[in-house]
Structure 1
Amino acid sequence: MTRRGKPRFRKKLPRSSNRKNREPRTLCRSNPPVRALKSRSPRVSQSTIPESNGEPEWARGRTVESASAPRTCEKTLQLRFSIFGRQCFYHPEAILHSALFLMTMAAGLTYTAHLHAQAPWPGSIQFTNVTAAAGIKFTHFRGNEGIPINREIFGPGVCVADFDADGFPDIYFVNGRDLYNRGISVRNALYRNNGDGTFTDITEASGVPGTGYGLGCVWGDYDNDGFPDLYITQYGRNVLYHNNGNGTFTDVTDKAGVAGTEFGTLFHSGATFFDYDRDGRLDLYVGGYVDIGPDSPRYCIISGVRTSCPPTAYKGTPDILYHNNGDGTFTNVTKAVGVYDPKGKNLAVGAADYDNDGWPDLFVANDGLNAFLYHNERNGKFDEIGTITGMGLTARGSVMAAMCISLGDYDNDGWLDLFITDFQKNSDHLWHNDGKGSFDEVSDQAGITVPTRDVLSFGGGFFDYDNDGWLDLFIANGHVYPEVEQVSPDVHFKQINSLFHNERNGKFTETTKTAGSGLQTPYVGRGVAFADFDNDGFADVVVGNNGDPPLLLHNGGGNGNHFLNFKLVGTKSNRDAMGGRIRVLAGSLSQIREIAGGGSYLSQSDLRVHFGLGKATKAETIEVKWPSGVRQVFHDVDADKFYQIQEGSGQLALQRFARKVSKGESLP
């Protein structure tokens, strides 16, 4: 793959008159269809939980095995599996879930994560675990009673925003709940960034503990008052907290009408704010995972091992799109705009303008189904074209257990590319945007297939960790079955995260082992967010871990590369400038970034836009394209500064910090 120059913002693509008539890509190419091995397929018994005492036990996720509430095994899921190779998996759950450990043995393979070679990288950036030193004492509470069910193993997300406008990004951690009446009290946590490398838990004072079993979260200033508001996806009703601008929040879920239960969805997942109709107000897209009801199985028996059930055991649920009415309320427009799909099993969602027509499109990652790409038709409606564009299925024609969505221009050609994480042995996926409305999977060519095959990936995405001007990749890993090691000791529940360096030639090199002590401890990694927490010019990482404390990774920097950081403030556009785009030309390198909420997995990163400049000490051109259509250009901009750009203003202002941290100053 060759890099196609470094153009300015490209002209709008012509409307494709034959998009709907375009032939879907060949799903299996030259590969034969999967056939079951001759050995017997594993039996999966699904335990269904009856109601008791007028209250459904399923509501608390409890398995009932007493004489008064007998366990029934009315359904059997016959699984097919194959040797992992270049084949098309028509029944991928045999690999994605039920084959969690069993199929590794059936394939005659022994798996040990991260045994592939990792070349030392000169001048390697070092990441250090500073969670405890920063004063973060939060621990995720899984909430399980015995074997965890799906709900208890999928979280948590983590989201970042400067909620108090002091110039330093703060962190919100999502937590589970005790749904088994054991008297255990837990809550979510909001940590205020003190600006000196430490954080303070202000959850109680601010009033954002959450109202149920939390899964994910996103920030967005839906009323354009200058303070980001907080939306939390939960099992049950979701919650919207309005930021009062004085350090406190108010629960406005009912007033706003965004609980997320209109279609009966209880198991909510990823979400994102975005302005799909460009009216200057943030709308809200909320994902739904699977339908766990009174007749749904809670556990499955896989070849004698009792564990949680794969998503094939459940029906899907619809996502919801809320339109912002501008008066503090939202209207459910899911069906009216064309994004209603009752079969979806969404885990992540991202909004970005992939075809450079100026309108945000929706990318939806599904678990065990084709991924969705809802193209914005610019008239208040969407058209689902995921398979047609080449990103709905993998290059081998299989669906994914898609957990993470990240969009970024990794080859600096002016078009946003796509990264999606997948289940262990399926590898993660990188799609190159061809600039003509389609995506080509280049995972093999880019060098991420083999290194990600032996891990189960969740959150993560693109970020430039060494400030060389090329987007790298960070991925949080961790299995979904705690029982996996009982059958296959070489497949681990806790796994080491992954870091990939962009080699600027379309390829990535894994640098996990050489990038510092903070990357050497295994966790059950889930949500990931990026932000420069100490404002030293290098992007840091925070990871939400299932059943453990989070991981705050400080980027040690120190390689002499320069940077630029921008905060956009919309006036005609939405205040957060979501959907806006910045292009930076420094030396011979042109880069783009788009301001977007959501993404990753159940998480959200800082909305400030970070550019690495390599050795360049200034940018010749800064071009901002606002969602409203306003365009601003600045010239000869000095590097190593944090700028604020207000829509319509002809001046670059410096961001204001409560306390200025010197470049290179370390966290304690």
Structure 2
Amino acid sequence: MRFYTYNIGLFFTLIGSILIGCDQNAIESTNSSEVLKLISSDSSGIMFSNEIMENDTVNVIDYEYCYNGGGVGIGDFNNDGLQDIFFTGNQQNNALYINQGELRFKDVSNSAGIEGPGWATGVAVVDINNDGYDDLFVCYSGLVPDNLRRNRLYINQQDGTFVDESIKRGLTDLDYSTHAAFFDFDKDNDLDLFVINHHNSFGDKRISPVDSSGASVSNDRLYENIDGKFFDISKKAGILYEGYSLGLGIEDINNDGWMDVTITNDYYFDDYIYINQQNGTFKESAKDYFKHTSNFSMGHDFGDFNNDGLADVMVLDMLPEDQYRRQKLIGPLNLELFYTTLNAGYNEQFMRNNLQMGGQYGYSEVGQLAGVYATDWSWAPLFIDINLDGLQDLFISNGFKRDITDRDFIVYRMKQEMLRTPEAKQNLITALSNLGGAKLKNFFYENTGDLTFDDKRDIWASTPESYSNGAAYADLDNDGDMDLVVSNIGQKAFLYEGKASDYNNYLKVKLKRNYTNIGAKVLLYSDGVVQYRRVNPYRGFQSSVTDEIIFGLGGQNIVDSVCVIWPDMMYEKVINPSFNSELTFEGKVLNQYISSERPKLFSQLNEALDINYQHKELNKIDFKSDPLLPHMFSRMGPGMSVGDIDGDGDSDVLIGGAAGESIRILRQSTSNTFSEEEILKDDYFKEDMGVSLFDSDNDGDLDLYVVSGGNDVAREDPYYQDRLYLNDGNGNFELAEGSLPDINQSGSVVRPFDFDKDGDIDLFVGGRLAPGFYPYPSTSYI
């Protein structure tokens, strides 16, 4: 979470408060086109509101996660066939609401034994003892005494009450925890536990290399389940990296049949992907899968929004929708900070939502293409087929109680903190109490089926402005579509009734094979389309959704088949199940599943061919002199060309150099290995863009043309003069001075070809830019 600016003008805040109000008691949606109906608290009986009372010790200055809010957990805690709702509370008690049917709920918190002291954050619903009754694991954090920060495992006693068995089962750590997930990482037929944590200090955020020792106070934890007790094996298993962890996901990232772990981190810390090594250990591999990530990553969720049978992931950040709020929040990009993080070993990070679309060999980030990259101060993304048309739509929760990222407030805060006096601290607390919040509408996005989403706020559902955090979905009224529960700060929780089953068909799938439900993969095939779901209740932000699966069918009434691939790689299939019905898999008719993973098209051969070349770029930031550039033109090279340079019958590789680096030749030997050689050192100061090997003088060997480019000096400077080098027949090059006309343009490419068909080689030289005059074009030549 980045503390800059989120601010709705006072006028609009007051008007919005008058028109919408903070009390949801009287809210009942009436729009006939709505896909979700907002149910009033009076009707549902859900009165839970996550109230936070600020004072001189409990505030977002001393504890920046003060307004991260609580989570929502869904489970059938009394086994009556109706899904119940659990809320975590920060300063007030947790709450449990038992489903009475027809979307009416009864608060049983006082008698259930789950209220718990402390600052509760995330919740994970699980049947940990395999007795058929859902239990609760609740995470704790906050500036509270250590003993109130112990996470709690509430075991269902099957009589409406729960007993905390966390100490009995070995869960005694006093971390600052955000969320947790249960899964069988080692395939020993029990559920292990992963818990994400964050640092206890928010003051010093100077960029430094990440602590990968496994000893940081914020290190996430993996607990192995051995006969019902949990043992911390984090270091042994390779869970070693520190951070401000806000999001946790469980998914088979590399499609090898073993569940991996994804963690999204706040501030400059990388998002992590721990790949299961199938031997009790994990390897952090985020850079192998994501080319870039969000910067201040919040919650995330996996889904398959393009129905290709591969997992996609949505990660939330803080980028506002409109330019006014963006400028108050972000300001200009801090390029020094960006490159400092890169130099410290971190991945490229950008302050916007990232939608990573899964492919056969990695991910492509398409958030901007999809239209979901800027949703403001966002927390929980959830992929749900809201309208049951067979495409997963997207819900995003939104809002923050104090707009502490306002740049004016940041300046005032810095001045007061520099004084280091009790009076200055009190002045800051007073200013904070008068600071407005980012009270925002939650997002409902419709999946259009063409890799984009349409904003359906106030069309699909009534969307009051709120400070919303955790959210979870389930079919609470058993009518075949998903209902939605959202936890709010200072406002009663939202309950949305799904209405899509009134006009679209569906198929509900339940899995009942004990521990092996979590991690199972469910595929529905219909009319040539595959829909994919993973049974994993731990989604979004600090929350647990139902473990039931609902597939939308739209107007179709024929399903070809449904296949369940269990975590032990056994599968079972049902052909032509009935639509608008419930289909239960119990693991009774099993077959061995054989993965059809495609082999990679290319293999890495650097080591085998003895190629150790690594490009070195000039450390120049173009945006300092020209902030309107779309990207840095000084880093567009180098060019590369392949040919038999020394006439020995083997292809060699020639690679241009950045400004400050000479051209390199990778000469191929008779043993098919390569040796690196630096040439033409006198021209090292130029940026080599396009390079081409061709016989310019018809002497039977390959000469070299080099296009000079980049953005290092002013336009039309002799620095940009292109160069022609003649080969002596043995692979040695010498500059052919005066052989080219004056081409003092920043170029990009050269292509030799017989333009006028007269039997000799002509050249096309492409211009790239006019340095200092973007977007004016450069000149190209023939």
Note the 1:165-314 alignment, pairs <5 A. Answer: 165-177=79-91, 186-235=92-141, 236-261=149-174, 265=175, 267-292=176-201
Inter-partner Cα distance in structure 2 for 1:322 and 1:312: 30
1:140 and 2:50 aligned: yes
Q: Write the distance in 2 (CA, Å) between the matches of 1:628 and 1:635.
A: 22
> Which amino acid in 1 is paired with 2:118?
G
362, 370, 373: which is aligned to 2:270?
370
Q: Secondary structure at the match of 1:617?
A: coil
Q: Determine helix, strand or coil for the equivalent of 1:132.
A: helix
Counterpart of 1:13 in structure 2 is none
Distance in 1 separating the partners of 2:207 and 2:83: 39
Letter in 2 for 1:531: A
1:123-153 CA distances to partner (integer Å, 9 max, x unpaired)? Answer: 6524323333100111212243254432421
Query: Within the alignment, does 1:163 sit opposite 2:77 as a pair?
Result: yes
1:552-579 residue CA offsets vs partner (Å, 9 max, x unmatched) = 11122265211111111115xx15x001
Tell me, yes or no, if the aligned pair for 1:123 and 1:559 is still in contact at 8 Å: no
Shift of 1:356: 2.0
Mapped partners of 1:419, 1:122: distance in 2: 30
Q: Does 1:434 align with 2:359?
A: yes
Distance in 2 (CA, whole Å) between partners of 1:611 and 1:100 is 40
Instruction: Write the distance in 2 (CA, Å) between the matches of 1:559 and 1:476.
Output: 25
Contact 1:135 1:200 in 2 (8 A): yes
| 2:451 match | 506
Query: Alpha-carbon deviations, 1:148-197, whole Å to 9, x = none?
Result: 432421121111111222211111001123xxxxxxxx311010111222
Paired AA for residue 159 in structure 2: N
Residues 273, 597 of structure 1: 8 Å contact kept: no
Q: 2:460 aligns with which of 515, 521, 539?
A: 515
Residue in structure 1 matching 2:377, options 439, 456, 461: 456
**Superposed displacement of residue 548, structure 1:** 2.3
Equivalent residues of 1:532, 1:540 under 8 A apart: yes
Residue in structure 2 matched with residue 543 of structure 1 by the alignment: 486
Instruction: Tell me: CA distance 1:124–1:546, structure 2 relative to 1, closer, same or farther (3 Å).
Output: closer
Q: Distance in 1 between matches of 2:207 and 2:78?
A: 43
Determine the C-alpha separation between the residues in 1 that align with 2:523 and 2:317.
Answer: 31
Q: Please tell me whether the aligned partners of residues 485 and 492 of structure 1 are also in contact (alpha carbons under 8 angstroms).
A: no
Between the aligned residues of both structures, percent identity stands at 27
Q: 1: distance between equivalents of 2:577 and 2:51?
A: 46
Per-residue CA deviation, residues 227-261 of structure 1 (Å, 9 max, x unaligned), is 12100001211111111223221110101112333
**1:579-612 residue CA offsets vs partner (Å, 9 max, x unmatched):** 1011111223211111013221011111111111
Which amino acid in the other structure matches residue 99 of structure 1? Y
Pairing of 1:512-661 with structure 2 (within 5 A)? 512-517=457-462, 519=463, 521-557=464-500, 560-571=503-514, 574=515, 577-649=517-589
- Determine if contact 2:316/2:380 at 8 Å carries over to the other structure: yes
How many residues are paired up? 500
- Give the C-alpha shift of residue 410 in structure 1: 0.7
Q: Pairwise mapping of residues 103-118 of structure 1 onto structure 2 (< 5 A)?
A: none
Secondary structure of the 1:522 match is: coil
Asked whether 1:355 is paired with 2:254, we answer yes
Alpha-carbon offset, residue 312 of structure 1: 8.2
Give the Cα separation in 2 of the matches to 1:367 and 1:241.
29
Task: Give the superposed CA RMSD.
Answer: 2.9
Q: Which amino acid aligns with 1:629?
A: M
For residue 324 of structure 1, what is the amino acid of its counterpart? N
1:447 is matched with: 371
Query: How far apart in 2 are the matches of 1:310 and 1:209?
Result: 35
**Alignment of 1:322 onto 2:233:** no
CA shift at 1:479, angstroms? 2.3
> d(CA) in 1 for partners of 2:286 and 2:498?
36
Alignment partners' CA distance in 1, 2:48 and 2:436: 28
Q: 1:611 to 1:483 in 2, by over 3 A?
A: same
> How high is the TM-score relative to the length of structure 2?
0.61
- Aligned equivalents of 1:460, 1:599: Cα separation in 2: 8
Q: Is the 8 A contact 2:562 2:575 kept in 1?
A: yes
Provide the residue aligned with 1:410 in structure 2.
Answer: 305
* Structure (1/2) with the larger helix percentage: 2
Give, in angstroms, the shift of residue 487 of structure 1.
5.4
Measured in 2, the distance between the counterparts of 1:101 and 1:204 equals 37
Alpha-carbon shift at residue 476 of structure 1 (Å): 0.2
Q: Quote how far apart the aligned CAs of 1:506 are.
A: 0.9
Matched AA of 2:48? F
1:125-136 correspondence to structure 2 within 5 Å: 125-136=35-46
| Paired residue secondary structure (1:481) | coil
Distance 1:194 1:477 in 2: 29
Secondary structure at 1:253 match in 2: coil
What secondary structure is seen at the aligned counterpart in 2 of 1:336? helix
Closer/same/farther in 2, CA of residues 223 and 632 from structure 1, 3 Å limit: same
In structure 2, what is the Cα distance between the partners aligned to 1:457 and 1:486?
19
Q: 1:150 to 1:485 in 2, by over 3 A?
A: closer
Q: What displacement does 1:322 show?
A: 0.7
CA 1:208–1:98 in structure 2 vs 1: closer, same or farther (change >3 Å)? Answer: closer
Question: CA 1:608–1:310 in structure 2 vs 1: closer, same or farther (change >3 Å)?
Answer: farther
**TM-score (structure 1 length as normaliser):** 0.70
Does the Cα contact within 8 Å between 1:216 and 1:234 map onto a contact in 2? Answer: yes
Aligned to 2:287: 387
Q: Aligned equivalents of 1:123 and 1:135: distance in 2?
A: 25
Change (3 A) 1:310 1:229: farther
Q: Deviations over 1:599-647 (max 9, x none)?
A: 2101111111111111122321011111122210111100111232211
The letter for the 1-side match of 2:64 is: N
Deviation of 1:334 (Å): 0.6
Residues 353-401 of structure 1 show CA distances to partners (whole Å, capped at 9, x for unaligned) of 122211111010100111000011111111111122116x33xxxx521
Query: Which residue type is aligned with residue 160 of structure 1?
Result: I
Higher relative contact order (CA 8 A, sep 6+): 1
Matching of residue 467 in structure 1 with residue 388 in structure 2: yes
Residue by residue over 1:498-536, the C-alpha shift from the partner in whole angstroms, topping out at 9 and shown as x without a partner, is 01100111111111131132x1x1111110111111111
> 1:480: how far off?
5.5
8 Å CA contact retained: 2:5, 2:406: no
Give me the whole-angstrom Cα distance separating, in 1, the residues matched to 2:370 and 2:569: 35
Q: Is the 8 A contact 1:350 1:405 kept in 2?
A: yes
Gaps of 5+ in 1: 1-95, 106-111, 114-120, 178-185, 298-308, 651-668
Structure-2 separation of matches of 1:587 and 1:530: 27
Higher Cα Rg, which structure: 2
- Specify whether residues 223 and 440 from structure 1 end up closer, same or farther in structure 2 by C-alpha distance, changes over 3 A only: same
Measure how far apart 1:350 and its partner are: 0.7
Counterpart amino acid of 2:4?
A: A
